[in-house]
Structure 1
Amino acid sequence: MKRKFLALGFVSLVVTALSAPAFADDLADIMAHHVIRVAVPTDYPPFGFVGPDMKPKGLDIDMANLIAQKLGVQLQLVSVTAPNRVAYLQTNKTDLTISSLGKTPERAKVIDFSVAYSPFFDAVFGSKGIQASTFGELTGKVIAVTRGSMQDDELQRLAPGAIVKRFDDNNGTVAAFLSGQTQMFASGTAVASAIEQRHPDVDMALKVVLSNAPCYVGMNKGEPQLLAKVNQIIRQAKIDGDIDKLSKQWLGAPAGSLPE
C-alpha cells in the first residue's frame, strides 16, 4: 500500500550528521529554515531500511514524511543506530528522533516524548492456512521461540497449551520455522519483516499479538511548541486513519488504541 504523503518534493538521506545544518532545535527555526532534520533507522525493518532502489523505506520513514508534509517543510533524514538516536538529539544534530523509540523512565529524564504513533508487536507468526487467532487456538500448535526471550515468557504465560520448541538464538528460531520443524514462531515484528525481505515468497502471516510496546517521537526537552505541534499531527493522523494504515502496511495489524 503506497501512502500519498511519500511524494514530497525532496527527501535527502544524511548518513553522517556532519552534513546536517547547524541551527537550533526549535519549531520556529524549523519553520524559518523550511527544513526538519529527523533521525531514522536504516537497518531495522520494517521501521527503517534501505530498499533495492537505495532509498530509505519503512514505517518510521513514512512517519517522518507525514510530519514534514503537515509542517510544510523539507525533510532531511539522518541515519542513526539504536545507541546514538538519543545522543543526536542532545547534540543538536537532529530535531526529532523517529526510530522505533520506546518510552523509558531513563530516557524521559533527558528527552521528551510525543504521544505514541505506532505499536511495536511481539507476536506469533505462522502459515496463512493455520487457524490461530486467539491464545486458546495456539493449544497443540508447535511454536519455535528463542530461549529466555520476552516472547518465551509471553508464550508460557498466555498460551500454556502450546508446544514450545526453544532455540538458543533468533537464527535458530527462524530456521526451525522456515525448514518446517515448527508450524509457527514467536518474535518481534522486526524479525518477521526481515524474513519477508529475505524470503518474499514465504507463507507467513501474523496470527496472535503477544504484547505491544508502542513507539514515540523523541525531541529535546524545553521545546513545548514543537512537542505540541507533533502531537497535534499524530492525533489528527489517528483520526484520519493514517496511523492504522501505516501499521497495517508495515506491521501486518492495525495500530489499535495507542497511549497518549
Structure 2
Amino acid sequence: MHKRLSTKLLKALALFITGFLIAVSIAACSSPESSSTKKLAVTSAIASASSLPGVPNPGATLAQIIATGKLKVAVPDDFPPFGSVNTTMQLQGYDVDIAQEIAQGLKVKLELVPVVGNYRIPFLQTNRVDMVISSLGKNKERAKIIDFSAPYAPFFSGVYGEQSIKVSSLDDLKGRTVGVAQGSLEDLELSKIPPGTFPIKRFASNSLTASALVSGQVELIATGNVVAAKLMRDNPEKRIDNKFVMKNSPCHIGVRRGDTDLLEQVNAIVFDLKESGKLNELSQKWFGEPLTLLPV
C-alpha cells in the first residue's frame, strides 16, 4: 500500500515539476526581454564560433603566425617546376622556394602543405593554411573571396597539341576534344564558353591532363606554359607546340580577405626579392630563363 502511494506521489511530483518548467518557459518566451536575450545568445554563439580551431578570423592571421612562430603555406606537389616531390619525397620547386623566402622574411618556421589546384582556396578558407603559394592566377571570381599579393612569377595559359593539328583560336576548337585540370585557371576560362561548343575532359591534376594528351585521350590540352614546357621536353617525339595564348596571368600569393597586415608584409618581401635579384635567380634555377617583366 505504502509502495503504491509512493509511486503515485512521485508521478504527481514529476508532472508538477514538468508543468512548472513549461510555464516558466512560456513566460520567458513571451517576455519583452526575450528578443534581446536571443540576440545576445546569437552574438555569443558567433563570437564563440570565430574562436574555434579551423574557423578563420579575418585580420588576425599575421598575429597568429608571429605568436605561434609558424607559417602554414599551401604549395603544389604535382606542378613542376612550381612544385613537385623529389626522389627523397621532399617538396621542391619555385613556389616552395618562395614560401621559404616568405617565412624567412617573417622570421618564422615554415610548414608546407601539399595541395592540388582544386583545393587551394578551400584550404585557405577553412584555415588549414595561412596562405597559398601555388601558381595562383588572379581573376574576378577569386578576388571576391580572397586577396592577392603583388605578382611573383610570370605565367600564361595556352592551348597545346601536336603540330599536325591546326588551330589558332577558341573558334577553331569546335569538334576537338580538349583536356584541362579541374579547377585550374584554364578550366575557368573554358567554362565561359557555351556548353557543347566542343568536348571538354576534366582531370584531377595537371600531370594527368598532360598524360591524357600523350596517350591520345584528348587531342589538345589547355594548360600553363610551364606545364607545357616540361611536357614538350619529356616527349620530343610527340612534336607538341603552342597553338595560341588563352590568358596572360602572372602568379600571385593568396591570403584570406581582411588579412591586410599579412598582405602588406608579403608584398614588402616580394618587392625586396625582386629588387635584390633573388626572384630572377629563382627563375633561372627553376624555369631556365630570366624573370620576365611582371606587372606592378
**Normalized against structure 2, the TM-score is what?**
0.57
Q: Say yes or no: does 1:193 pair with 2:235.
A: no
Larger radius of gyration: 2
Gaps of 5+ in 1: 1-20, 126-142, 157-165, 177-185
Kindly state the Cα deviation for residue 153 of structure 1 after the two structures are TM-superposed.
3.2
How many residue pairs match? The answer is 200
* Mapped partners of 1:254, 1:124: distance in 2: 23
Q: How does 1:68-107 map to 2 (within 5 A)?
A: 68-107=103-142
Residue of structure 1 equivalent to 2:292: 256
Superposed, 1:47-58 pairs within 5 Å as: 47-58=82-93
What is the CA deviation profile of residues 186-222 of structure 1, one whole-angstrom value per residue up to 9, with x for unaligned ones?
97211322555x57x99x9x99x96742000000011
Please state how far the C-alpha of 1:174 moved relative to its aligned partner: 5.9
Structure 1's 174 and 245: CA in aligned 2 closer, same or farther, altered over 3 A? farther
Q: Which residue of 2 aligns with 1:62?
A: 97
Question: Cα deviations across residues 214-251 of structure 1 (Å, max 9, x unaligned)?
Answer: 00000001111100000000011000111112222222
Task: Tell me the equivalent position of 1:242.
Answer: 278
Matches within 5 A, 1:19-168: 26-121=61-156, 144=163, 152-153=168-169
Q: Select which of 220, 223, 233 maps to 2:259.
A: 223
For residue 60 of structure 1, give the secondary structure of its aligned residue in structure 2: helix
Contact 2:151–2:294 at 8 Å: present in 1 too? yes
Confirm or deny: 8 A CA contact 1:47 1:190 kept in the other structure. no
Higher strand share: 1
CA separation in 1, counterparts of 2:169 and 2:258? 39
CA deviations on 1:41-86 (whole Å, 9 max, x unpaired) are 1011111100111100111101101101111110000111111100
Q: Partner letter of residue 192 of structure 1?
A: A
Aligned-partner SS, 1:49: strand
Which protein is richer in helix relative to its size? Answer: 2
Consecutive aligned runs of 4 or more in structure 1 exceeding 3 Å deviation? 21-25, 121-125, 145-148, 166-176, 209-212
Matches within 5 A, 1:209-220: 212-220=248-256
Distance across 1 between alignment mates of 2:72 and 2:156: 27
Does structure 2 conserve the Cα–Cα contact (< 8 Å) formed by 1:38 and 1:98? yes
RMSD, aligned CA? 3.8
**Hey, what's the Cα distance between the residues in 1 that align with 2:70 and 2:279?**
23
Gaps of 5+ in 2: 1-52, 180-209, 217-222
Give distance in 2, aligned partners of 1:224 and 1:34: 19
